[in-house]
Copies of this chain bind each other. A is one copy, B any other.
Amino acid sequence: MHGLMMDYQLTIDRIVEHANRMHPHKQISTKLPDGSMHRYSYADFYRRVKRLGNVLETLGVQPGDRVGTFGWNNYQHLEMYYAIPSAAAVIHTLNIRLSPEQLAYVVNHGGDKVVFVDGTLLPLYERAAGQITCVERYVIFNAPSGTSTSLPNVSYYEDLMAAASDDYTWKVTDERQAMGLCYTSGTTGNPKGVLYSHRSMFLHTLGENLATSLGATERDRLLAVVPMFHAMAWGTPYATLLAGAEIVLPGPHLQPPKLAELIAEERITIAAGVPTIWMGMYQDLKANPRDVSCIRALVVGGSAMPRALIEAYEKELGVNVVHAWGMTEMSPLGTLSKLQSHHDNLPDHERWDVKARQGYVVPGVEMRIVNDAGRVLDWDGSSVGEVQVRGPWIAKAYYRLEPTEEHFTADGWFRTGDVASITPDGYLQITDRTKDLVKSGGEWISSVELENALMAHPKVAEAAVIAVPDERWSERPCAVVVLAPNAGEVTGAELIEFIAPKFAKFWLPDTVIFVDEIPKTSVGKFDKKVLRVRHAEGALG
């Protein structure tokens, strides 16, 4: 017997309707390429989203069509985040850091009919254009005056908007319809597309706004440093508007001093970005102090934030770090590490231990850890296995790929490829990627644990640990280290001695390589694939 409640569909247009109805005066602010601030209200935004709906119709966009976006975080991009799904089309966010080959692959695989390209990024896109076969129309937005392009069939965003009416009826009717497409960077093989539904993204938004979760309200001002081409900007474009929070978009201004300035001047309460960004900002703030204590949650995800940096932010800058974990396949929020009441009386160093974990699951998501033999492991803080998840905002397949057991279990869980333990009180502690573990003499060594220990050294800015082939042990760990500015003379032996008390002797890297920079993937993670090729021999002990 079915219940007798309304068949009310959970669709993205509801969010902008709610935002406009309840919080018309709240602001959306963008730092433009020239450094000035563009500001308008939710009500202005709403009218422009409706106008963009008509523009999409003019462009011939039909329900189900994929519409690419290639841009920075700015208000036009935010308009697309709402208008494209509400027109029952699919917003396909394109990573601006992909190689031309990868970009062409992703656009072609997605089958994008129209692509919106940020005028300041045209040269990047144009490099791939020759290999792109499916796009019928280009729309250039955020274009400096005098912009010209070699792309075919081009219109200009503001011209189309000026000509459109803002009288528009949302087209989406069914919450199961696809609303977004985002490709994972993929450490092996081609990028794979995750196809979000309206339902999954709406529920993710509710999950993110729970008081036990990130919990934005209309009192918050959120800075989205996480790119809008990366895992739906962690859901922040939807979570802010549903909560009535103000959102600040940094445009291309991602340099640490610019971000610190933006946080201080805009009185940001929540800022979301990857560890590299916050590491850079920390170093800048030490050199050029500013008051960033307005932040109630410095949200960090994408990869692990070193415990030492979490501690430094809190002790030295009065900033609460909220460690989060998720994946493109998870919409992306899975866990976050907020302290709970049973931690209140812990000494500081134990509280930082907790905050350095990836945290507890957001209600709605289920997680488990599973060993190589497929056995579900206990949450005892020491058993280590692959993290598997399921829930209403987790992918069940990749776009245009048959689901395989490499990614999805027979009993309906997504295999994250992350390796972790879980404490008895439910805090996830990622120890590695399955692919990044070092297998030495039949024993697993966690590259992430070694990295965190190395990064706790005051003279180390970044450290990546990779496996290098070894005749006797099969693999051995090798550390690749970037020193902090003005670190002076440091030897590998000194660093190994520093971390030695924390590990079994066979875990300690045999070699430490000093480099100026660690190569990063398109989403800012250590690119260990490149490191492994470069340093296959180990060196410079």
Residues of chain A at the chain B interface (Cβ within 8 Å): 1-8, 10, 14, 17-18, 21-22, 63-64, 90, 176-179, 194-200, 203, 206-207, 209-212, 215-219, 242-244, 331, 340-341, 360-361, 363-364, 366, 390-399, 412, 414, 426
From the candidates B194, B212, B216, B396, name the one contacting A7 in the complex (CB within 8 A): B396
25 A-B pairs, CB-CB below 8 angstroms? A1-B63, A2-B177, A2-B178, A3-B178, A3-B197, A3-B200, A5-B331, A5-B392, A6-B200, A6-B396, A22-B360, A203-B206, A206-B363, A206-B364, A209-B211, A210-B210, A210-B243, A211-B211, A211-B217, A212-B216, A212-B243, A212-B244, A215-B215, A242-B363, A244-B340
In the complex, given contacts A8-B392, A210-B210, A210-B215, what are 9 additional A-B residue pairs having Cβ atoms less than 8 angstroms apart? A1-B64, A2-B197, A3-B179, A4-B397, A5-B197, A6-B395, A22-B361, A206-B207, A209-B211
CA distance A426 to B3 in the complex (A): 30
Top 10 closest A-B pairs, CB basis?
A3-B197, A211-B215, A5-B200, A1-B64, A8-B392, A4-B195, A211-B211, A3-B178, A206-B206, A6-B396
Contact A21 B218 (CB under 8 A): no
Q: Once the chains bind, are A18 and B212 in contact (CB under 8 Å)?
A: no
- Contact, CB under 8 Å: B206 / A216: no
Are B178's CB and A1's CB within 8 A? yes
CB-nearest residue of chain B to A175 = B3
Separation of A503 and B156 alpha carbons in the complex (Å):
58
Cα distance, A203 to B285, chains bound together (Å):
42
- Most B CB contacts (10 A, CB to CB) among A4, A18, A90 go to A4
Nearest chain B CB to A114 CB, angstrom units: 16
Inside 8 A of A6's CB, which chain B residues have their CB?
A: 200, 390-392, 394-396, 412, 414
Give A242 to B211 CA distance when docked, in angstroms. 11
Give the complex CA separation of A17 and B3 in angstroms: 22
A391 touches which one: B8, B361, B398 (CB < 8 A)?
A: B8
Q: Do residues B426 and A22 form an inter-chain contact, with CB atoms below 8 A?
A: yes
CB contact between A390 and one of B8, B21, B196, B393 (< 8 Å): that residue: B8
Which residues from B are CB-within-8-Å of A215?
Answer: 210-211, 215
> Which B residues lie within 8 Å of A199 (CB)?
3, 5
Decide: A5 and B209 in contact? CB cutoff 8 A. Answer: no
Residue numbers in B under 8 Å from A360 (CB-CB): 22
Measured between beta carbons, the chain B residues less than 8 angstroms from A179 are 3
- The answer to whether B10 and A392 have CB atoms under 8 Å apart is yes
- Residues of B close to A211: CB separation below 8 A: 209-211, 215-217, 243
B residues within 8 A CB of A396? 4-7
The interface residues of chain B lying within 8 Å CB-to-CB of A176 are 2-3
CB neighbours (8 Å) of A210 from chain B are 206, 209-211, 215, 243
Report which of B90, B198, B244, B426 forms a contact with A21, defined as CB distance below 8 A. Answer: B426
CB distance from A184 to the nearest CB of B (A): 13
**Chain B contacts of A14 at CB under 8 A?**
366
Contact status A5-B394, CB under 8 Å: yes
Q: Which B residues touch A243, using CB under 8 A?
A: 210-212, 363
Q: A22-B426, A219-B341, A426-B21 are known contacts. Are A1 and B394 too (CB-CB below 8 A)?
A: no
- Bound-state CA distance A341–B7 (Å) is 34
Kindly provide the distance from the CB of A15 to the nearest chain B CB, expressed in whole angstroms: 8
Chain B residues, CB < 8 A from A412: 6
